[in-house]
Amino acid sequence: MRISQHYGLGRTQATMDFVDVDIVNDTPVFLSPKALTMLPSEFGDECVHLVQNFFQTVLDYIRGGKNHQAEALLRELREPNETRLGLSSGKAQGHALGSGSAHNVWESLSQSEAAKSGLLEDLEDTVLMIEGISVDIVSDMTTNIIRAPLIRYTQRMCEQYGIPTSPGVDSGPLWNSIEKRWYSEFVELPIAGSGRLIFVPKVLVRTHLQYDAGEYFRHFLLTRMQQAELAANTELVEIVKSGKGKRARTRKRVTKKALLGKYGTGKKAIVAETRKHPDALATYKALKRDEKHLPLTLEDMSSLEGAAETDWAALLHAVRSVPTGQADAGRYEKAVEGIISALFYPNLTNPNVQHEIHNGRKRIDVTYTNMGVHGFFKWLATHYSSAHVFVECKNYGKEVGNPELDQLSGRFSPSRGQVGILVCRQFHNKTLFLQRCADTAKDSRGFIMALDDDDLASLTLSREDEPLFAEWKLLRSRFDALIN
């Protein structure tokens, strides 16, 4: 039974910001450190800082010969069963890190030439350089280190979705990046299935990490080693003849089989040869920096969870079936948030409902983080102040006019963002209202794209036809009308 079912949320994975995990068994995805760097928000920045700070502290201890302190820090990396992520079969076990495994991680790090030489720079480097550290261990290490922001995220999601929490729950180890130590406290968390739950945003999970030791060794390091052997004309160089008579040609080669025979395989060989050829690692990491490490699609999530694919007709019906009027404004806002969260994932993430600004004097119906993964929203993030995209929902039976435009534009700021979406049931004079949006933009009061129920239907059809749809021609045309 998944979280949505257990708590009767009336939601599916498409409309939930976090992974809708089974409350007992593991869901076979991993938290990716690389994904944290792709999240342009205070949450993402804090997580990246914590991971880098912890890992750098451990490496500094190891390089300084303070192995006892390094192992003590690693020993606190408990089994993160509370996320219900990983490859455990049956009941969630968080098998990658345990009391013995933490010692093994320290031992691998402390004995690694990579740790001592400075080759290790990022957490995912350990997948390439350290024996015994694989995707599940890196994921578990990351989860442990960012537990504090994940707990705060979980608490906000519980408040937003109406999930009950229990007070006085042991937080587990929390990393203090200032004092460079672990601490714990009692917090409020949901309890279900096999114990406490901590939610993980679905934009942060992957089925594999970006770095792969086999890929790096075979296609980058061995290639560089071949070049070095040929340049030095070593005993591994073979003369190969081809053709006959005047067309006969000779060339030199070094086979990868010969290299493996001389230098061996495994991460010990990777570290030793990378020290000789650091440009191979630099090339690999540069390629990975430019490589898209995209979030899983909604279809991917459905497949992994064994759930039905997103029912777009049902999401649209949830909007259209809400009666018009102030009495049902809350229902309309909830339905609009659900369909927009599904439509624009993974570009718009982390919906913050009834977000307070100006010390609570103003509220925004829904505030999204613009992750800008691809398509229209990436273009928007590149060219305009749109770290956040604000959504206001108007369940009016009357015409929406200048006061509603002024209300939304009053939420904008250069730091928060200056792009918003105003959603209402219908426009009596749509052409006139779109012109008012253009006037707002020309007066430097922000960029507001107006949508009605029919526009949501059009967007839903576009998304149904193309699972990776990202261009959103309707949104682009509305935005173009604001800037032209």
For the segment 351-365, what is each residue's pLDDT rounded down to a tens digit?
998 765 545 556 778
- Residue 439 sits at φ, ψ, to 5 deg, of -60, -40
Q: Residue 187's beta-bridge partner residues?
A: 169
The segment(s) of the chain belonging to CATH 3.40.91.30 are: 311-483
How long, in residues, is the chain?
484
pLDDT of 96: 44
Residue pointed to by tokens 């129920």: 453
Cα angle value 477/478/482 (rounded, 5°)? 110
- From first to last of its 484 residues, the chain has per-residue pLDDT tens of 999 999 999 999 999 999 999 999 889 999 988 899 888 889 999 999 999 899 889 889 988 989 889 888 988 887 788 999 986 544 544 444 555 566 777 877 887 787 777 777 777 788 788 777 778 888 888 999 999 999 999 999 999 999 999 999 999 999 999 999 999 999 999 999 889 999 999 999 999 888 888 899 999 999 999 999 999 999 999 988 877 767 778 889 999 999 999 999 888 899 889 989 999 999 998 888 878 788 999 999 998 888 888 999 999 999 999 999 989 999 999 999 999 999 999 999 999 987 655 455 567 789 999 999 889 999 999 999 999 999 999 998 777 888 888 888 888 888 888 999 999 999 889 999 999 999 999 999 999 999 999 999 999 998 877 666 678 999 999 999 999 8
Cα angle value 6/8/9 (rounded, 5°)? 115
Query: Under DSSP, is residue 341 helix (H, G, I), strand (E, B) or coil?
Result: helix
The overall longest dimension of the chain from CA atoms, in Å, is: 93
CA pair distance 445, 462, nearest whole angstrom: 30
Distances in Å between the Cα of 399 and the Cα atoms of 134, 220, 434 are 58, 62, 13
Residue 330 token pair: 């809350």
H or E element, residue 271: helix 266-276
Do you find a cis peptide bond into 323, omega within 30 degrees of 0?
no
Residue 453 token pair: 């129920």
- DSSP-derived letter for residue 426 is -
CA pair distance 416, 476, nearest whole angstrom: 21
H or E element, residue 363: strand 362-370
pLDDT of 356: 57
Looking at residue 138, its amino acid is V
- DSSP-derived letter for residue 379 is H
Distances in Å between the Cα of 377 and the Cα atoms of 441, 464, 472 are 18, 19, 9
Please tell me the pTM assigned to this model: 0.86
Task: Select 311-483's CATH number: 3.40.91.30, 2.70.150.10, 3.40.190.80, 3.30.2180.10.
Answer: 3.40.91.30
pLDDT of 100: 59
Dihedral (CA of 295, 300, 302, 304) sign:
negative
Write the CB contacts of 65 (distance below 8 Å, at least 6 apart in sequence): none
DSSP string, 89-137: SSB---TTS-HHHHHHHHHHHHH-HHHHHT---STTHHHHHSTT--HHH
CA pair distance 200, 206, nearest whole angstrom: 12
Q: Which long-range contacts (CB under 8 A, 24 or more apart) does 53-57 make?
A: 53/175, 53/177, 53/180, 54/145, 54/175, 54/177, 55/123, 55/145, 57/180
CA pair distance 318, 313, nearest whole angstrom: 9
CA pair distance 150, 21, nearest whole angstrom: 15
CA pair distance 176, 146, nearest whole angstrom: 10
